[in-house]
Amino acid sequence: MDFYQIEYSRNPLESWNKLQTRPPVEKNGYDSLYGFCKATSRYHFDESINDLDYLNSDCPVVIPIKRFNGNWDEQVESLTVHTRPETLASRKQTRLSANNNFEENDLKSWGYDVENYTIANRIKQPELEGDIKKIVGSFGFAEPKMIKFDVQMPGQCFYWHLDNFGGLLKKFRGDYDRAGVGDIDQRDVMRLVVFLDDQRQGQIWQQGNLLLNWKRGDCITWPWKDIPHGTCNYGHFPRPVLNVTGIVTDQTRELLSGV
């Protein structure tokens, strides 16, 4: 593994425009969410490769967007109080049954305690205000749009996975009997993360073979159909992030081009 200090020497719009997408696959024959997602990933999955060498490729493990400045400490504190543990049971409430069954199969096969496993504390679609609200609005995402305020508490982890957006895009996909927006061209959907506090000891965010070093306000995205990633907090302090996923618009591209 190699360390990557988030920096902004690359143009995020150029990086985003270079992304490619493998065709969708049928869900039949799969019983693993990780395996199902991996079938359409363009990532190499070779732990010996230095992903720093591929940051300018058409499959970079991370695309830094910009570092936002703002005063959001009070809102982070207020939102944190209202977060609730995001468990396997709570994840099941918004997604297709195939996603849920596949994910549970994965966790059991990997040895996770399915009944008690928690990835983070979370609020979905929170009421935002001030500078955090401005950040979300600046991307101009069209609907459907999912906003999550996540606080990974000490002792929590989000397992090594690939994104599928099973809740956000389920109305487009049916029971995976048709391709949804983003499945043909992943550039139509974007997930971004804004780190709302400086990294503290014991807080880990891994993209591919890179361990990220972040500062407060750092904002990243990545080719969501390609890049495996995971997070954990074995430190002493909560790790808050803003997690936003939505349909890309001209305003989104304009922000990427003008950062």
The whole-angstrom separation of Cα 51 and Cα 55 is 7
The enclosing H or E element of 221 equals strand 218-221
Model pTM? Answer: 0.96
The enclosing H or E element of 90 equals helix 88-91
How close are the terminal C-alpha atoms of the chain, in Å? 29
Structure tokens at 207: 């993209």
Report the CATH number that the domain containing residue 234 is assigned in CATH: 2.60.120.10
Q: Residue-wise pLDDT tens for the chain (259 aa)? A: 899 999 999 999 999 999 999 999 999 999 999 999 999 999 999 999 999 999 999 999 999 999 999 999 999 999 999 999 999 889 988 777 888 899 999 999 999 999 999 999 999 999 999 999 999 999 999 999 999 999 999 999 999 999 999 888 988 898 888 888 999 999 999 999 999 999 999 999 999 999 999 999 999 999 999 999 999 999 999 999 999 999 999 999 999 998 6
Which residues are within 8 A (CB) of 53 and not within 5 positions of it... i.e. 6 or more apart? none
Question: Position 235: which residue type?
Answer: G
Question: Position 59: which residue type?
Answer: C
What secondary structure letter does DSSP report for 159? E
Helix and strand element counts for the chain (H, E): 8, 12
Q: How many domains does the chain have?
A: 1
Phi, then psi, of 90 in degrees rounded to 5 = -70, -30
Max Cα–Cα distance, the chain, nearest Å: 49
Instruction: For residue 72, give the nearest of 122, 130, 149, 127 by alpha carbon.
Output: 130
Instruction: For residue 243, give the nearest of 149, 154, 167, 176 by alpha carbon.
Output: 149
Domain membership of residue 209 as a residue range: 2-257
Q: What's the pLDDT tens digit per position in 129-179?
A: 999 999 999 999 999 999 999 999 999 999 999 999 988 898 889 888 888
What secondary structure letter does DSSP report for 92? G
Instruction: For residue 223, give the nearest of 39, 65, 41 by alpha carbon.
Output: 41
The predicted pLDDT at position 30 comes to 95
What secondary structure letter does DSSP report for 76? H
Is the CB of residue 149 less than 8 Å from the CB of residue 240? yes
